[in-house]
């Protein structure tokens, strides 16, 4: 795909239809910018009550009490960061491994179907990951938690306190992170597959000519070359993970508290909105929830902007994920 | 310079170590693919084994019944999903295709970089936040939940996807085709409308279908816009249900019968989405 230069006719033809048509297209396209600004305006104005009441302390307080009308978003920020971080730790190595397999190991007849299957994972709706999580993953995690309960070498060891579940429900941080990991794998995988394909074959051939093994080629010729692009893909996945809502809501336990162990039930920014919005009756509660949404909006815009800059600098065509 | 026996031993030891690490790496990389495939297969297996048995004609022809009664289906949710997607498509197609035309056909317009940046950034905004925006825009203004609000939320989510795909497809139309039109004395707007857009039509349709498949599974923005409705409603000013929304509500409910309904709904939703995705995939592959 090369960039296309249009013949320099715009504005110079004698047709009367040209400027109205261009105006129409421009106005409709500018609706996109308007939507963006309108989103910021709507979110700010509907959460104004909460912004006015709590000010900046909204970001630093760990309290969420609809009864006393005290709200702070820090637990949800921490919950979001923790789930996303654990999810990325699980997902990134798997995604990079799979994209290396597709580009370097698999023959064409195998690499294409595997690529499709991984992309199919991205087509499954969030709510279905949640359903599968509730009925399949949660019972598995619960039995792991019960197993840990009966291991004295873990429960008695003060250094492993973070591994001991406080109540073995199966709902919590770890379950949510595992589901999130599965959901973001396709995003990292597709970007890293694209950038690994962009590594010039000279790089590989030069290494092979020196007698390197395949793994040595991957480690010292391919991965360093593709590093920045893969990082962009990871940031893109982070953006997905931060905003993922229903699957997380269904398995995280929805307790507005900072998790004590990796199994503890907690809540994220998006899960608290999904969980409490329709039940919120107080105006302050509603506007606090919307302020959490405003926060999420800015964070995701920032993260996606970063990912875009990183991937674009590498190759303007690779941003198809 | 001769190589002593000792040096040779060192070399061969190193070589075997390198070979071992190479083999280990290959196995680990292969394992990554296997590990990723496990959840995909497990999800599909779960849906097939639990969803098929819960499917029946009733599922498509009846509304849900109160807990305790036998039978019931998700007709309201299926119709609701179609209504929401229709409203969303109108918004998504008009603004999205216009955005794509502007980015591809008027690249020298000063607003192009901004439109592209904003569209890219919007594509990453979480669905639930777009739901909040639609809530503020429609639900707060009209003072009640409605299919319009839900459709607008989904439409906002569709726009960036349609912009990107239609821009790409329009750029695939050869310059020579445009030049031929201009050489015949057609003004630029006629060239775009009667030559470029028709020849890119199949690609644009593909992009729209992909966007529809993406938003068809979204439930989070519908929670407080379309809201859900236990009965069939054809009035877009009233709350409606949607497949993903019903699945969510039924999964978190404590009733076995509703869980069965959720499983069947999930199977239908996934089949719909997979068919759309596969068809568009096949269509794009044939074109290249």
For residue range A144-157, what is the model confidence (pLDDT) as tens digits? 999 988 888 888 88
Whole-angstrom distance, CA of residue A259 vs CA of residue B244: 29
Give the pLDDT score at B65: 84
Q: Are B61 and B75 in contact (CB under 8 A)?
A: yes
Residue A98 is assigned to a structural domain of this protein: yes
Looking at the structure, do residues B47 and B159 belong to the same domain, yes or no? no
The string of pLDDT tens digits covering residues A199-239 is 999 989 999 999 899 999 999 999 998 988 899 899 989 99
As beta bridge partners, residue A266 has A253
**CA angle (B121 as vertex; B130, B157 as ends), nearest 5:** 35
> Within 10 Å of residue A85's Cβ, how many Cβ atoms?
13
pLDDT the model gives residue B1: 58
Res. B118 pLDDT band, cuts 50 70 90: very high
Instruction: Judge: B118–A36 Cβ closer than 8 Å, yes or no.
Output: yes
Q: What is the CATH number of the domain that holds B268?
A: 1.10.3720.10
Instruction: Give the angle B168-B279-B243 at the CA atoms, nearest 5°.
Output: 100
Most confident of the following: A10-14, A317-321, B6-10: B6-10
Contact B248 A130 (CB under 8 A): yes
Least CB-CB distance to B115: which of A29, A101, A319? A29
**pLDDT of A179 above 50:** yes
- What are the pLDDT digits (tens) for B147-170? 999 999 999 999 999 999 999 999
Same domain, B32 and B156: no
Chosen domain end from B15, B30, B54: B54
A319 pLDDT band (50/70/90 cuts)? very low
Residue A320 has pLDDT above 50, yes or no: no
Owning domain of residue B44: 5-54
| A316 vs B265: which has the higher pLDDT | B265
Residues B161 and B180 placed together within one structural domain of the fold: yes
Which residue shows structure tokens 């306190």?
A161
Contacts of A134 in chain B (CB under 8 A): 251-252
In this structure, the answer to whether residues B90 and B28 fall within a common structural domain is: no
State whether B22 and A213 contact (CB < 8 Å): yes
Q: What is the pLDDT of residue A313?
A: 76
**Cβ distance of B103 and A29 shorter than 8 Å:** yes
CATH of the domain at A126: 1.10.3720.10
Domain that holds residue A108: 82-276+306-314
> How does residue A276 score in pLDDT terms, banded at 50, 70 and 90?
very high
**Nearest-CA distance A250 → chain B (Å):** 7
Asked if the structure places residue A92 within a domain, the reply is yes
Tell me if A182 is assigned to some domain: yes
By percentage, how much of chain A surpasses pLDDT 70?
93
Question: What domain count does chain B have?
Answer: 2
What pLDDT was estimated at residue A228? Answer: 87
Could you tell me how far CA A33 lies from the centroid of its own chain? 23
**Of B17, B35, B54, which residue sits at a domain end?**
B54
Least-confidence region, from A148-162, B109-123, B130-144: A148-162
Q: Is A105's CB within 8 Å of B128's CB?
A: no
Chain A residues in contact with B156 by the CB 8 A cut-off are 35
- In order, the DSSP letters of chain B are ----HHHHHHHHHHHHHHHHHHHHHHHHHHHHHHHHHHHHHHHHHHHHHHHHHH--HHHHH-----TTSS----HHHHHHHHHHHHHHHHHHHHHHHHHHHHHHH-TTSTTHHHHHHHHHHHTTS-HHHHHHHHIIIIIHHHSS--HHHHHHHHHHHHHHHHHHHHHHHHHHS-HHHHHHHHHTT--HHHIIIIIIHHHHHHHHHHHHHHHHHHHHT--GGGTTTTB--SS----TTS-B--HHHHHHHHHSSS-HHHHHHHHHHHHHHHHHHHHHHHHHHHHHHHH-
Q: Are residues B228 and B148 in the same domain?
A: yes
Inter-chain CB proximity A215 and B26 less than 8 Å: yes
Taking the CA of residue A70 and the nearest CA in chain B, the distance in Å comes to: 21
Of the pLDDT bands very low, low, confident and very high (cuts 50, 70, 90), residue A143 is very high
pLDDT for B44-83, tens place per residue? 999 999 999 888 888 898 888 887 777 788 999 999 999 9
User: What number of C-beta contacts closer than 8 Å exist between A and B?
Assistant: 287
Of B25, B219, B277, the CB nearest to A215: B25
- Residue A124 to residue B217, Cβ atoms within 8 A: yes
Determine the pLDDT at residue B128: 95
Are residues B65 and B48 part of one domain?
no
Whether residue A318 has pLDDT greater than 90? no
Determine, yes or no, domain membership for A294. no
Write down the pTM of the prediction.
Answer: 0.90
Count CA atoms within 13 Å of residue B113 on its CB side.
Answer: 1
pLDDT in tens, B225-252: 998 888 888 999 999 999 999 999 999 9
- Using a CB-CB cut-off of 8 Å, the residues of chain A touching B104 are 4
Tell whether A133 is covered by a domain.
yes
Q: Which of B40, B109, B266 sits opposite A121 (nearest CB)?
A: B40
pLDDT digits (tens, 9 = 90+) for A75-134: 999 999 999 999 999 999 999 999 999 999 999 899 989 998 998 999 999 999 999 999
B202 in the same domain as B174:
yes
Burial zone of B24 (CB within 10 Å; 0-12 exposed, 13-18 middle, 19+ buried): exposed
Domain boundary (B13, B30, B54) is at B54
Helices A173-198 & A74-100 angle (0-180, nearest 10): 40
Do B131 and B218 reside in the same domain of the chain? yes
Residue B10 sits in the same domain as residue B67: no
Q: Which chain B residues are Cβ-neighbours of A25 within 8 angstroms?
A: 98, 101-102, 105-106
Judged by CB atoms closer than 8 Å, whether chains meet at B137 and A38 is answered as yes
> With an 8 Å Cβ cutoff, are A239 and B124 in contact?
yes
Out of A107-121, A265-279, B270-284, which region has the weakest mean confidence (pLDDT)?
B270-284
**Whole-number pLDDT of residue A173:** 94
What is the value of ipTM here, to two decimals? Answer: 0.91
Count how many domains chain A has: 1
Sign of CA dihedral B64, B65, B68, B69: negative
Same domain as B142, residue B17: no
CB–CB of B21/A219 below 8 Å? no
Q: Residue for token digits 């030049």?
A: B179
Total residues found in chain A within this entry: 321
In this prediction, residue A74 has a pLDDT band, given cuts at 50, 70 and 90, of: very high
* Residue A14 confidence class, pLDDT cut points 50, 70, 90: low
Mutate to test the interface with B, among A6, A10, A29, A235 (most CBs of B within 10 A): A29
Q: Say whether both B270 and B188 belong to one domain.
A: yes
Does one domain contain both B69 and B47?
Answer: no
Measured at the alpha carbon of residue B36, what is the angle toward residues B35 and B42, in degrees to the nearest 5? Answer: 90
Cα A151 to Cα A22: distance, rounded to the nearest angstrom:
71
CB contact under 8 A, B29 and A101: yes
Cα A138 from Cα B150, distance rounded (Å):
30
């Amino acid at each position: 795909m090369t960039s296309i230069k249009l013949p320099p006719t715009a504005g110079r033809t004698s047709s009367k239809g040209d400027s109205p048509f261009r105006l129409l297209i421009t106005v409709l396209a500018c609706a996109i910018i308007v939507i963006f600004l309108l989103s910021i305006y709507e979110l700010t104005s509907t959460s104004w009550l909460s912004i006015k009441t709590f000010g900046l302390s909204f970001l630093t307080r760990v309290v969420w009490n609809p009864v006393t009308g005290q709200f702070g978003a820090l637990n949800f920020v921490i919950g979001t960061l923790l789930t996303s971080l654990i999810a990325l730790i699980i997902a990134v190595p798997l995604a990079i491994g799979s994209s290396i397999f597709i580009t370097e190991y698999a023959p064409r007849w195998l690499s294409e179907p595997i690529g499709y299957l991984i992309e199919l994972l991205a087509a499954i709706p969030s709510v279905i990951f949640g359903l599968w999580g509730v009925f399949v993953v949660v019972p598995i995690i619960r039995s792991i938690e019960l197993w840990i309960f009966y291991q004295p070498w873990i429960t008695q060891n003060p250094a492993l306190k973070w591994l001991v579940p406080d109540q073995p429900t199966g709902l919590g941080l770890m379950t949510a992170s595992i589901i999130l990991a599965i959901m973001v794998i396709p995003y990292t995988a597709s970007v890293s597959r694209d950038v690994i394909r962009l590594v010039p074959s000279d790089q590989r051939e030069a290494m092979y000519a020196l007698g390197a093994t395949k793994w040595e080629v991957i480690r010292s010729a391919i991965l360093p070359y593709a590093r920045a692009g893969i990082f962009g893909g990871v940031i893109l996945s982070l953006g997905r993970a931060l905003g993922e809502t229903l699957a997380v809501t269904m398995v995280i336990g929805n307790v507005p508290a900072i998790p004590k162990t990796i199994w503890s039930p907690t809540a994220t920014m998006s899960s608290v909105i999904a969980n409490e919005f329709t039940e919120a009756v107080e105006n302050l509660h509603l506007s606090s929830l919307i302020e959490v949404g405003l926060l999420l909006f800015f964070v995701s815009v920032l993260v996606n902007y970063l990912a875009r800059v990183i991937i674009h600098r590498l190759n303007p065509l690779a941003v198809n994920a | 310079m001769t190589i002593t026996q000792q040096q040779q031993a060192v070399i061969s030891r190193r070589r075997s170590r390198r070979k071992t690490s190479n083999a280990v790496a290959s196995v680990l990389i292969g394992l990554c693919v296997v590990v990723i495939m496990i959840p995909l297969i497990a999800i599909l297996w779960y849906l097939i084994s639990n969803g098929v048995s819960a499917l029946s004609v009733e599922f498509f022809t009846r509304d849900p019944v109160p807990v305790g009664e036998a039978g019931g289906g998700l007709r309201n949710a299926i119709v609701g999903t179609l209504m929401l997607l229709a409203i969303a498509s109108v918004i998504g197609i008009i603004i999205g295709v216009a955005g794509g035309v502007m980015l591809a056909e008027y690249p020298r317009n000063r607003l192009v970089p901004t439109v592209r940046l904003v569209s890219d950034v919007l594509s990453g905004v979480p669905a639930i936040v777009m739901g909040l925006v639609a809530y503020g825009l429609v639900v707060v203004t009209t003072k009640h939940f409605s299919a319009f609000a839900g459709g607008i939320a989904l439409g906002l989510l569709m726009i960036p996807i349609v912009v990107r795909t239609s821009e790409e497809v329009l750029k695939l139309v050869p310059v020579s085709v445009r030049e031929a039109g201009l050489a015949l004395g057609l003004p630029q707007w006629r060239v775009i409308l009667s030559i470029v857009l028709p020849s890119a039509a199949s690609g644009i349709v593909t992009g729209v279908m992909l966007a529809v498949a993406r938003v068809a599974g979204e439930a989070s923005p519908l929670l407080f816009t379309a809201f859900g409705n236990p009965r069939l409603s054809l009035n877009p000013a009233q709350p409606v249900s949607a497949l993903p929304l019903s699945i969510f509500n039924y999964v978190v409910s404590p009733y076995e019968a509703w869980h069965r309904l959720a499983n069947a709904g999930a199977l239908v939703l996934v089949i719909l989405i997979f068919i759309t995705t596969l068809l568009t995939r096949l269509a794009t592959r044939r074109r290249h």
